[in-house]
Chains A and B, each alone.
Chain A
Amino acid sequence: MKKLIATLLVGVMSLSLIACGAEKETKVEETKDETLQTEETQETSESTEAVEADITLWTYPIGKFADAETVNGFIATFNEKNPGINVSVEYLDYTSGDDQVTAAIEAGTTPDIIMEGPERLVSNWGAKGKMVDLSDLWDAEAMEDIALTSKAIVTACQSPDGVFYEYPLCMTTHCMAINYEMFEAADALQYINEDRTWTTENFEKAMQALKDNGVETTGVVYCGGQGGDQGTRALASNLYSAKFTNEAHNEWTMNQEAGVKGLQKLVDLSNAGLLSYDAGAVASDELQLFANGTIAMSFCWNASNEAQYASSVAFTPYAVAFPSEDGTPELCGGIWGFGIFDNGDDVKVQAAKKFIEFIADDEVQGPLSVQSTGFFPVRASYGNVYTGTADEARMSVYAEFMKYLSDYYNVAPGWAEQRTAWWNLLQQIFGGEDVQTATDNYVKISNEATLAASNS
């Protein structure tokens, strides 16, 4: 017995010694590392060529940035110029990506670089102090070049107090699409203008024409979750040119006359059997119905979706703007770019910035990076990155929609709560609740969330 206890004690002591030794060694190495890092940081400031680090990139599925072969190709090109920076990549999806990032933030294991939009990088993680200020990437040249495309992009990438948490790469406007052949058969193409815009009145007439021609379900207002909710928001707000927020993005305004009128119109169309709603479906379900030819239109469309579904549909998906009372739509934008998590390591931050600059700003790589997303460059100087490619004709259609880009209100604080409140609002009004009352409640929830997020 004594032998056993003695053996155990010796074992525990040995383990402790090993652990202590390891700790000391780690500290020595850490000290060395710190010294090296300090030296390297100094070197970095003197010469930008000397950065050596292992960095990680987490990317959401933005076009081919979800494809390992494409991204690895970019990294290989980057490493030709920056052999000391190793970039490892993890691919996120929109179902569990946010949860992975949240868990990483709490565990202190966030990546160095993350690729997504301002609603996450700026108004969520940036506002919570988790991101690095990227103001130095936004030099005068970049600022001017990007502002030439749209000043809304510059505003979207910075916090209300002017700190840049995102460096953008690409953008698009979200639109809707129709099944061209179905519309043609119903003689409903007459209601769409040549420039692919249409009025609310003509939208209703087109619904009626489709219905009269035997189309059982014209379109589906999906509201089973937040997936693709930009489509339903754009549909509801455009019908009577409503605004989701005020200019300062600190107050939600859909309960004003235009917003309520638009929502009421959707309910009326649904009640009249001209439009359907489904609280059990999200955008991916609706897109599948559209691709199957079950429904005549999709409210969740953009250039990337067309590229994705082009080979699987047996009809012509024809992109159109959302209908509005005066025929001039205000389309929701999508902006995607890079942010850097503040992991307290200056060397890694420098390395991450070099990578971002290469992917987004390099005169050869930049346009290629944009092309791979299937969207448009935020830099005006890149011009048409699809010229001479197989995508040129397809992308020119979507390029025409860019002039309708509206305010990027996705950066409003409390965005996450608002998203949930939105699809719950749709479920409530289609379920029979009074539109004004339900919208007031939605605005109340969203304003409370915005206020709370602004004060935190």
Chain B
Amino acid sequence: MHNSISKRSRALIRRETISAYLFLLPSLIFFIGFVIVPMFMCLGASFFNYTMTDFEFIGLGNYVEMFQDSIFIKAFVNTVVIVVVAVPAVTVFSLWVGAAIYPMHAVSRSFFRCVFYLPVVTGTVAVAVVWKWMFNKYTGLFNYVLDGAGVIDQNISWLGDEKTALWCIILILFTTSIGQPIVLYVAALGNVDASLVEASKVDGATNLQTFWKIKWPSIMPTTLYILVITTINSFQCYALIQLLTSGGPNHSTDTIMYYIYYQAFKLNRYGYGNAMGVFLAIVIALFSIIQFRLTKAGNVD
């Protein structure tokens, strides 16, 4: 009797498992076809001198060249600067805004969520054009305001000056990156167990203590997700560079993604571009692992 139940339940589990896999199959086919296979093709092509006319095996030649390429090194440094500045800034600011608007009335909360989410749903080209107008050396809003306030006596070419261009890119990236984290933090804060918060208040905890001891650990999975997604997006910063600076002035805004595009599409050096793509994927994976480890260490069950 017991045996037959066990057999039946095993059959049911197997049937459910097969059904689940069948449901997954269409997505899996697309995932394998458009993600996994291109990844391996990219890896394979990175060992070739692959251009519009050549396809010759060169082993690690592209990788060796990559680390001797001063522009690639500069692009890598710029990319790391963007990540190191943008990711913490986006995370902290989003958490602050999320915490500030979460207790508000539903209407006000929705209003602020919409305001901060607007740059996310606005097309990158439209966002870039508006920022370009504001940064314009001759007719831009920034120079107009700063000049009017007496802060500057000579117009600044914000996107054309090595000292300011990368920071302008980071600022735009920041504004387009905070929308989703804010929405996620508001949702995550709404899911924090209210009884725990009330208990801590009864025990005499301050607001800060309640936040750090109760809320922060509860929203840690959301923080991890935001960190990983923002890191990946920052590493892959390309469209803003393409639309605003083309990597200039003097390579000061070159990022790895833009340099991959330049090598692959402008110079038709697909193999070299692929090698840089593989390197970028490895770096992103490493950063993500570190973030997983750090946030896991700080997590409280």
Interface of A toward B, CB cutoff 8 Å: 1, 4, 98-99, 102, 105-106, 128-130, 217, 220, 223-226, 276, 278-281, 285, 289, 292, 294-295, 416-417, 420, 423-424, 427-428, 431, 456
Q: Which of A128, A280, A424 has the most CB of B within 10 A?
A: A280
Q: Which residues of B contact A427 (CB under 8 A)?
A: 160, 248-250
CA distance A99 to B138 in the complex (A): 31
A-B contact count (CB 8 A): 89
Are B52's CB and A224's CB within 8 A?
no
Closest chain B CB from A93 CB (angstroms)? 12
Given contacts A224-B160, A292-B139, contact A99 B265 (CB under 8 A): yes
Binds A, one of B10-18, B99-107, B170-178, B199-207: B10-18
Contact A225 B51 (CB under 8 A): no
- B residues 156-210 touching A (CB-CB < 8 Å): 157-162, 165
Verify if B266 is at the interface (C-beta below 8 Å from A).
Answer: yes
Q: Does B109 contact A (CB under 8 A)?
A: no
Q: CB within 8 A of A280: which of B54, B165, B251, B267?
A: B165
Interface assignment of B213: CB less than 8 Å from any CB of chain A: no
B140 closest partner in A (C-beta): A280
B: which residues have CB within 8 A of A?
Answer: 11, 14-15, 18, 51-54, 135-139, 157-162, 165, 244-246, 248-251, 262, 265-268, 270
Cα(A279)–Cα(B137), bound, Å:
10
CA distance A217 to B159 in the complex (A): 18
Given contacts A1-B11, A129-B53, A416-B267, A280 and B138 within 8 Å (CB-CB): no
Q: How far is the CA of A99 from the CA of B238 in the complex (A)?
A: 15
Query: Is the beta-carbon distance between B249 and A280 smaller than 8 angstroms?
Result: yes
CA distance A279 to B248 in the complex (A): 7
Q: 10 closest pairs, A vs B, by CB?
A: A280-B160, A279-B160, A280-B159, A279-B249, A225-B246, A427-B249, A280-B157, A128-B52, A427-B250, A99-B265
A106 to B53, CA, bound (A): 10
What are the residues of chain B within 8 A of A417 when measuring CB–CB? 267
Shortest CB-to-CB span from B123 to chain A, Å, is 14
Given A106-B52, A281-B137, A427-B248, 14 more contacts at CB 8 Å?
A4-B18, A102-B268, A106-B270, A128-B52, A223-B249, A224-B248, A224-B249, A279-B249, A279-B250, A280-B137, A281-B160, A420-B266, A424-B248, A456-B51
Chain B residue with Cβ nearest A428: B250
| CB<8 Å pairs between A and B, sample of 27 | A4-B18, A98-B265, A99-B265, A102-B52, A102-B265, A106-B270, A217-B138, A224-B245, A224-B246, A224-B248, A225-B248, A278-B137, A278-B138, A278-B160, A279-B157, A279-B159, A280-B159, A280-B165, A289-B139, A294-B139, A295-B138, A416-B267, A424-B248, A424-B250, A427-B249, A431-B250, A456-B51
Alpha-carbon separation in the docked complex, A295 to B270 (Å): 41
In the bound complex, CA of A220 to CA of B138 (Å): 10
Which single residue of chain A is at the shortest CB-CB distance from B14? A1
> A98–B137 Cα gap in the complex (Å)?
29
Please name all residues of chain B whose beta carbon is closer than 8 Å to the beta carbon of A4 when the two chains form the complex.
18
Bound Cα distance A294, B139 (Å): 8
In the complex, chain B residues whose CB is within 8 Å of the CB of A220? 138
B53: chain A residues within 8 A (beta carbon): 128-129, 456
Q: Which chain A residue shows the least CB distance to B50?
A: A106
Q: Which residues of A contact B157 (CB under 8 A)?
A: 278-281
Closest Cβ neighbor of A419 among chain B residues: B266
Q: Give the contacting residue for A294; candidates B18, B54, B138, B159; CB below 8 A.
A: B138
Q: How far is B266's CA from A102's CA once the two chains are assembled, in angstroms?
A: 9
C-alpha gap A26/B102 in the complex (Å):
62
Distance between Cα atoms of A278 and B268 in the complex (Å): 29
Query: A292 — which chain B residues lie within 8 A by C-beta?
Result: 139
A223 contacts across to B, CB distance below 8 A: 160, 248-249
